[in-house]
Amino acid sequence: MVSRYDFSRTFEIKGRDFNKAGSISINIKEILKELGIDQGIVRRAAIASYEAEMNIVMYANKGEMTLRLNPEVIRITLEDEGPGIENIEIAMQEGYTTATDEIREMGFGAGMGLPNIKKNADIFELKSTVGKGTSYNIVFYLNSKGDV
């Protein structure tokens, strides 16, 4: 049994690999469940990590997602190498998307990803450099309420 007080694990994400897309988030959900985290917090963390993972799959060349736990918080951080986001304020608006038609036909790219992360996380920080990449800092307080 892993300890929830000093947990840290990093996962590699390949850009445009739709076959494996979502598998890291499923993995993260299983880990949090196994660590005995409150179900509602697990649900919120799973949604946020899925949306972030899909953003890297859809837009970036590659990226890394790290899950860390301490007695107070779950922290999910992501770093990608990709096109970056020109205007974060606009990207955070519900319905705004830069997805291709092909991606949208699959039911992705509805412009809900970043708003979904914001809605479910207790802290969500996004930093981006155009032409280089984007980083995410997503935090869940372990003493917070389960569902949003």
Partner 1 sequence: MTVTEVIEKLGLHVLTSKEVSDTKVTGGYTCDLLSDVIANSKTGYLWITMQTHQNVLAVAKLKDLAGIIFVNGRQPDKDIIQKANEEHIAVLSTDESAFSISGQLYQLLK
User: Alpha helix (H) ranges present in the chain?
Assistant: 23-34, 39-59, 88-91, 101-105, 113-120
Judged by beta carbon, residue 125 or residue 147, the one nearer partner 1 is 147
In angstroms, the CA 65 to CA 102 distance is 25
* Residues 5-64 interacting with partner 1 (rule: CB under 8 A): 18-19, 21-23, 25-26, 29, 43, 46-47, 50-51, 54
Bridge-based pairing state of the strands 133-141 and 73-81: antiparallel
CB of 86 to partner 1, least distance (A): 21
- Site mask, partner 1, residues 103-122, x = CB under 8 A? ---xxx-x-xx--x--x---
- Which residue lies nearer to partner 1 by CB, 46 or 139? 46
Phi, psi dihedral angles at 81 (to 5 degrees): -105, 110
In whole angstroms, what is the distance from residue 141 CA to residue 128 CA? 24
Task: Give contact residues for partner 1 (rule: CB under 8 A).
Answer: 18-19, 21-23, 25-26, 29, 43, 46-47, 50-51, 54, 106-108, 110, 112-113, 116, 119
